[in-house]
Amino acid sequence: MRRPDLAAAAALHGVMVLSMASTLAIPVLAPAIAAETGLAPSLVGAYSFFTWSAAMLASSIAGALIGIFGPVRVVQLSLALGAAGLGAGASGSLIALALAPLFIGLGCGVETPASSEILARVTRPERRAFIFSLKQTGVQLGGIAAGIAFPATVATVGWRAGLGVLAVVLVAYAVALEPMRRRLARRHAPERPARHAGPAIAYVLRSPTLRTLSIASFAFHAMQVCLNTFLVTFLVTQHGLSLALAGLLLSIAQLGGFVGRLGFGLVVGPRLPVLSLLVAIGFSMTACAVVLGVAAGVLHVAALGALCFLFGLTAAGWNGVFLAEIVREAPPGEIARVTGGVMVTAYAGLILGPVAFATAAAALSLGAGFVALAVATALGSTALARARPAPPRPV
The pLDDT profile of the chain, 395 residues, written as one tens digit per residue, is 356 667 888 889 899 999 999 998 888 888 888 888 887 766 777 888 899 999 999 998 888 898 888 899 999 999 999 999 999 999 888 888 889 999 999 999 999 999 999 888 888 888 888 888 888 888 888 888 887 888 888 878 888 999 999 999 999 999 999 988 877 765 555 555 545 545 667 778 788 888 899 999 999 999 999 998 888 888 888 888 887 888 788 888 988 999 999 899 888 877 788 888 999 999 999 999 999 999 888 888 999 999 999 999 999 999 889 988 898 888 877 888 888 889 889 999 999 998 898 888 888 888 899 999 999 999 999 999 987 655 555 44
Residues 318 and 181 in one domain: no
* pLDDT at site 106: 96
* pLDDT at site 216: 93
Domain boundary pick from 187, 212, 232: 187
Residues 38 and 141 in one domain: yes
* pLDDT at site 185: 62
User: CATH code at 316?
Assistant: 1.20.1250.20
* pLDDT at site 130: 87
Residues 71 and 132 in one domain: yes
Residues 315 and 212 in one domain: yes
Torsion sign across C-alpha atoms 95, 99, 100, 101: positive
Domain boundary pick from 127, 161, 187: 187
* pLDDT at site 395: 41
192 domain residue, yes or no: no
354 domain residue, yes or no: yes
Residues 28 and 164 in one domain: yes
How many domains does the chain contain in total?
2
Domain boundary pick from 158, 187, 216: 187
43 domain residue, yes or no: yes
Residues 148 and 280 in one domain: no
Q: What is the dihedral of CA 11, 134, 226, 328, to 10 degrees?
A: 100
**∠ CA 228-229-235, rounded to 5°:** 90
Give bridge partners of residue 207 from the DSSP assignment: none
Measured CA to CA, the distance from residue 258 to residue 329 in angstroms comes to: 25
Domain extent, residue 137, equals 4-187
Residues 212 and 176 in one domain: no
195 domain residue, yes or no: no
Residues 173 and 212 in one domain: no
332 domain residue, yes or no: yes
Let me know: does 328 contact 254? Beta carbons within 8 Å. Answer: no
97 domain residue, yes or no: yes
Let me know: does 29 contact 159? Beta carbons within 8 Å. Answer: yes
Residues 148 and 48 in one domain: yes
284 domain residue, yes or no: yes
The structure's pTM equals: 0.84
Residues 263 and 174 in one domain: no
Q: Report the 10 Å Cβ neighbour count for 357.
A: 24
Burial profile 194-228: b = 16 or more Cβ within 10 angstroms, e = fewer: eebeebbbebbbebebbbbbbbbbbbbbbbbbbbb
